[in-house]
Structure 1
Amino acid sequence: MKAIAFVGYKKSGKTAAVEAVARILKERGYKVGIAKSMHADFDRPESDTGRFSRVADYVLVKASDTEALLFKSKDINAFFSTMPSVDFLLLEGFKSVKHVPKVICAKSEEEVKELNDGLAIAVSGVIASTGVEEIDGLPVINALTEPERLADLIEKRAFMLPNIDCRMCGYKCAEMARMIVKGEKTLNDCVVLSSKPKVTVKIDGQVLPMKDWVQELVEKTIKGMLSAMKGYRGGKKIEIIIREE
């Protein structure tokens, strides 16, 4: 899954940019997911959903025109893992995320400078309608009039690192992400993504990243338990499925 975050302050054009790019990617045959960061409380304490959320792990809400699943994820990785398998994940907001590249949506050059944390690959939003073509080496692309151009860039440069800071590559994921954006590294330099894991664990279809020593621990533990069972003869591939009832 490739990802890109559209970051910016209020009324900077984030939603319009996300919508325009998502439409183009869909037309190109990609499966697209969108995640939005909201500053308002969706389930206020005094609301019905707020009361339900305090006593349940998950809350399903069906309105007249849509459905929603409410839950509390322990971290951003757990939150993103709930997204079904897609080709591109477009994030609206999420300024604090450091393991994906970003498109800065801004109203002024000052905002671009404030928001650029080394992960930006382009500028869009309100400022793109002023005629400015480049800011600090970043191309300024109007998502409303040139959505194909912005989608082209995202097709080539979007990515998502595991965000587990395993340091097997020698860096934290945020550091590696900035180097990939600068062209100093590639995704192949991420050991977790480039190496073929010996042990793969999937939870609801999503791969759980594991360091080498964790894979070895899981492998030896499972093989050790199975070796004590009658009928176990070993094999090149072992599959274990655990279903929560």
Structure 2
Amino acid sequence: MKVVGFCGYSGSGKTTLVEQLVARLRLAGHRVSVVKHAHHEFDIDQPGKDSHRHRAAGAYEVVIASNRRLAKIREYDVEADPNPHQLIAELSDADWVLVEGFKHADLLKIEIWRAETGQRVQYPHDPFVVAIATDSPEALPSPTQLPVLDLNDADAVTAFLIRQAARHDYRSPYDDADNEAAYVAPAADAEPARRAGAAARRHDGAG
């Protein structure tokens, strides 16, 4: 399974790009799943429906299924903020998982940036950003040796992901640990060396 994140501020175009990538990867024969972060209370259920009534009565989880679709809705007893690794663990097997949001997650990710939003960039201080997708490459506020992709060319972004597929092989940080505390992310001060190595690989034609 390959996993790639997409980070960026609201209005940057994350959802539009992810939607386009899902369609293109699916067309290429891949099974694709999406993990999406929601900042506010949300509900995919409908008041008055049986599943909603079960939840209102106090069910912790409700699973509803037909011969075409399955949904599971969980009500946390106390406020929770699951991390993307926990959410990926909820998924069935897929070829690609696209993770939208979770900008501080320890996942390799593409940063989405539009100059018109006026928002600061994340890539100078986030070692997990492996590329930038933007409609204004000349306006990037910090110099970078990372690949810069055309935000408006989903075909090119798809091709980039497929070329880099091996890099996105996913291994849960919990595979060799009894609990999530055992997982340690790369140190921030490793970033200059990592990017220097990446630049050398690109210079050698590794892409």
Shorter-normalised TM range: 0.5 to 0.7
**Paired amino acid for 2:98:** L
Report sequence identity in percent: 22
Q: Tell me the distance in 1 between the aligned counterparts of 2:138 and 2:94.
A: 33
How far apart are the structure 2 equivalents of 1:118 and 1:182?
Answer: 8
Say whether residues 1:158 and 2:163 are aligned partners.
Answer: no
Task: Please say if residues 133 and 141 of structure 1, whose CA atoms lie closer than 8 Å, have aligned partners that are also in contact.
Answer: no
C-alpha deviation, 1:4, in angstroms? 0.5
The one-letter code matched in structure 2 to 1:132 is E
Partner of 1:120: 129
The count of residues paired between Structure 1 and Structure 2 equals 172
Unaligned runs of 5+ in 1: 186-245
Contact map agreement 2:37 2:100 (CA 8 A) in 1: yes
TM-score (norm 1): 0.56
CA distance in 1, matches of 2:42, 2:64: 11
Higher relative contact order (CA 8 A, sep 6+): 2
Alignment of 1:45-60 (within 5 A): 49=52, 52=55, 55-60=58-63
TM-score, structure 2 as length reference: 0.65
Q: Distance in 2 between matches of 1:85 and 1:115?
A: 33
Match of 1:4 in 2: 4
Answer with 1 or 2: which has the greater Rg.
1
Q: Kindly indicate whether residue 145 of structure 2 is the aligned counterpart of residue 137 of structure 1.
A: yes
Shift of 1:43: 4.1
**Change in CA separation of 1:89 and 1:133 when aligned onto 2, cut-off 3 Å:** farther
Which runs of no fewer than 5 residues in structure 2 stay unpaired?
A: 198-207
Matches of 2:158 and 2:139 in 1, distance apart?
Answer: 17
Q: Secondary structure at the match of 1:132?
A: helix
AA aligned opposite 2:152: L
User: How many angstroms apart in 1 are the aligned matches of 2:157 and 2:59?
Assistant: 41
Give runs of aligned pairs for residues 205-244 of structure 1, distance below 5 A.
none
Q: Does the 8 Å contact 1:43/1:50 carry over to 2?
A: no
Q: Distance in 1 between matches of 2:8 and 2:22?
A: 18
Helix, strand or coil: the match of 2:120?
A: helix
1:163 deviates by 1.7
Query: What secondary structure is seen at the aligned counterpart in 1 of 2:149?
Result: coil
The alpha carbon displacement at 1:24 in A equals: 1.8
